[in-house]
A and B are shown apart, each in its own frame.
Chain A
Amino acid sequence: MASIPSSSSSPSPSQPKARKKPGQTTSPPPPPQTKWRTGTQERLYSRRLVDALQATRDRAQPPESVGSRAVKEAADSALAMTARGQSRWSRAILFNRNSCRKRVLVKAGGKIRRHRRKHQAIPPAMEGAGATSGVLKERKVKERLKKLGRIVPGCKKLPAATLLEEAADYVAALEMQVRTMRVLAEALSAAAVSVPEEEEMEIAEQGS
């Protein structure tokens, strides 16, 4: 498992990494596949998920039922915490939870409009410059990188290499999240089937 960085409790948005120096890379963290597929992470996450779900259910007022959005948010927060804030997307998820939702929505509304204008403005300008096929391919790659940056939380303005790393980690983490939630859902539905049977047996015994 990767070692915890020095500033674990107060993560800064731009941690000074050794990427500026040529030929020097950061200390190699374990590849995302192996990191997220170990049983330890799954157990950690599933326990955290169960706790979070119970807390959500207790917090929700009894007449109201727990909504699917609340479950999803709890699952995402639990996932981000299991990542221990080592990746940008996990920190972005945790920060968005704390900040006011309305503020985030207003910001997102303004930014989306700006993005659309940029998209419409840029392609005609670049295509009119007599681009060769190589540059067109680069343009495709850059557009898709931008799209990826919008999907992965907290990665809108990252350089390509960091974005790709974050995306790899995010994909592996999401896979683990899906696996764990499925296991939990199966277990709960199996328990739901067995409990009514026990109740029926009790009632039958009491009745006789």
Chain B
Amino acid sequence: MSSWRSRSRQSNTSRISDEQINDLVSKLQMLLPETRTRNNDRVSSAKVLQETCNYIKNLHREVDDLSERLAELLETTDMSSSQAAIIRSLFM
């Protein structure tokens, strides 16, 4: 199926309805912590997309930091001895 972008570059018609797009954008907006409190009317789709990109980049960075921390921890701790603590914490 042709992409919405290439089709509607010149014309105004798009295969996927604008309502659907707006609905999805508002769904994204509810996920982002920054735009969740504001009304849907005030935030434009461009802003939501920008916030999404930034948020995903932030999450990637947090994952990287946590990976570093976990890598260091894995070196020092012995998994078998602390597995009980881990399993306990997982079920809390």
CB within 8 Å of B: which residues of A?
A: 19-20, 25, 31-33, 43, 46-47, 50, 53-54, 57, 65-72, 75-76, 137-138, 140-142, 144-148, 151-152, 157-161, 164-165, 167-168, 170-172, 174-175, 177-178, 181-192, 194-195
Contact in complex: A68, B68 (CB < 8 Å): yes
B41-66 contacts to A, CB under 8 A, are 44-46, 49-50, 52-53, 55-57, 59-60, 62-64, 66
Chain B contributes a number of interface residues (CB within 8 A of A) equal to 52
In terms of DSSP, what is the predominant structure of the interface of chain B?
helix
Residues of A near B75 (CB, < 8 A) are 65-66
Contact in complex: A57, B53 (CB < 8 Å): no
Contact in complex: B27, A195 (CB < 8 Å): no
Residues of B near A71 (CB, < 8 A) are 67-68, 70-71, 74
CB within 8 Å of A: which residues of B?
A: 1, 3-5, 8, 16, 20-21, 24-25, 27-28, 30-32, 44-46, 49-50, 52-53, 55-57, 59-60, 62-64, 66-71, 73-79, 81-83, 85-86, 88-91
> How many pairs, one residue from A and one from B, have CB atoms within 8 Å of each other in the complex?
167
In terms of DSSP, what is the predominant structure of the interface of chain A?
helix
Residue from B46, B70, B74 in contact with A137 in the complex, judged by beta carbons closer than 8 Å? B46
